[in-house]
Amino acid sequence: MSENYTLIIKNGSCFIDGKLTKTDLALSGNKISKIGKVELNSSKVIDASDKIVLPGIIDTQVHFREPGSTDAEDLESGSRAAVLGGVTSLFEMPNTNPPTSNKKEFQRKLDLAKNRMYCNYAFYFGATADNANDLADLKNLEGCCGIKL
């Protein structure tokens, strides 16, 4: 007897153990509950033949302009738009006003993001001629995904 899933994705190629493998996915609610051969039942079914099935997109270069130019976009509106486009995680650039190129501004960015972002996020730290000697200290800085030169 087959289980009752909310969604079955059939015949898609998924990245499993380092290679693309044709398989089925079954979801219960919005969580994957089975990977492998899934028997059809009354669940909604999507045929993903000749398609790659990914859990979400990671956008490694976004420019939300907060602080400084929130008239264009801010962390909240930018992350909301990203989620609607299938993005589950994003890395935001440091070219804001002021730039995110010191620990005080980096912490400010983290504070601005707290409880306002709709997806996973991290921020780049901006490298400048003035902070080059301090960049090695960023290795374990929470919320930092890298240094932007």
Per-residue pLDDT tens for 88-118? 999 999 999 999 999 999 999 999 999 999 9
- Global pTM reads 0.68
Checking 37-43 for CB contacts under 8 A at 24+ apart, the result is 38/2, 38/5, 38/8, 38/10, 39/2, 40/2, 40/8, 40/10, 41/2, 41/3, 41/4, 41/5, 41/8, 42/4, 43/4, 43/5, 43/6, 43/7, 43/8
Check whether 41 has a pLDDT greater than 90: no
